[in-house]
């Protein structure tokens, strides 16, 4: 997906990232959700976010798109449960896929509008680190088995490993601390 630090963003980078990660998920649900409902036997929707849908890393556009998939899945879970449709969100960590080579799928309409990846400097080093982590990542077949188990047991969240649990815990602790800061106050109305 599009990589870029604050101050280097482009509309094209945001459009591509949001289109692939969030809008494609929305459109898929819009197409297949009614088909699931029509057969009347219930079903299950699994949307793929990322652990980046719960914790923010260096790629803001990617994080925003994946947070959106998590929010969409959480809302749909509540909305579709009475209709017999379960919803899970897959939040994988580093999986052995081709995600680091996503530019191979860059549509022609974005050619020249999405900046080339840097070959040196801090962002290039970060990209190389991600490529290395992905190349040594979790087996996709294992992830598939987790998804199957998640569907069968109606898990709201499907995680692939515990690596990022401390960071998620820290995020929720910071959120809780925000509430603690105002505890005991009476809002003016």
Residues annotated as catalytic (active site), given as ranges: 62
Structure token digits, residue 186: 């009476």
Sequential DSSP letters for 93-109: -SBSSSGGGGGGG--GG
DSSP code at position 164: T
Count other Cβ atoms within 10 Å, centred on residue 161.
Answer: 16
Backbone phi, then psi, for 152, in 5-degree steps? -60, -30
Apex 70 CA angle, 180 and 129, nearest 5: 95
- Those residues whose C-beta lies under 8 Å from the C-beta of residue 155, and which sit 6 or more positions away, are 88, 149
Q: Please choose, from the candidates 141, 161, 151, the residue with its C-alpha nearest in 3D space to the C-alpha of residue 46.
A: 151
């Amino acid at each position: 997906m599009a990589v870029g630090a604050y101050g280097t963003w482009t509309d094209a980078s945001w459009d591509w990232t949001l289109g692939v990660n969030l809008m494609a998920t929305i459109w898929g649900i819009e197409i297949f959700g009614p088909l699931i409902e029509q057969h009347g036997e219930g079903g299950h929707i699994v949307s793929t976010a990322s652990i980046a849908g719960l914790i923010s890393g260096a790629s803001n556009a990617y994080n925003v798109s994946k947070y959106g998939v998590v929010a969409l899945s959480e809302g749909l879970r509540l909305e579709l449960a009475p209709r017999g449709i379960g919803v899970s969100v897959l939040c994988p960590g580093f999986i052995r896929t081709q995600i680091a080579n996503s530019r191979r799928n860059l549509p022609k309409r974005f050619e020249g509008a999405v900046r080339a990846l840097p070959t040196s400097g801090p962002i290039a080093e970060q990209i190389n680190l991600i490529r290395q982590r992905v190349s040594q990542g979790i087996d996709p077949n294992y992830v598939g088995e987790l998804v199957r188990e998640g569907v069968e047991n109606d898990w709201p969240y499907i995680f692939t490993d515990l690596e990022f649990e401390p960071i998620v815990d820290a995020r929720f602790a910071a959120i809780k601390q925000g509430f603690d800061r105002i505890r005991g106050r009476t809002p003016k109305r």
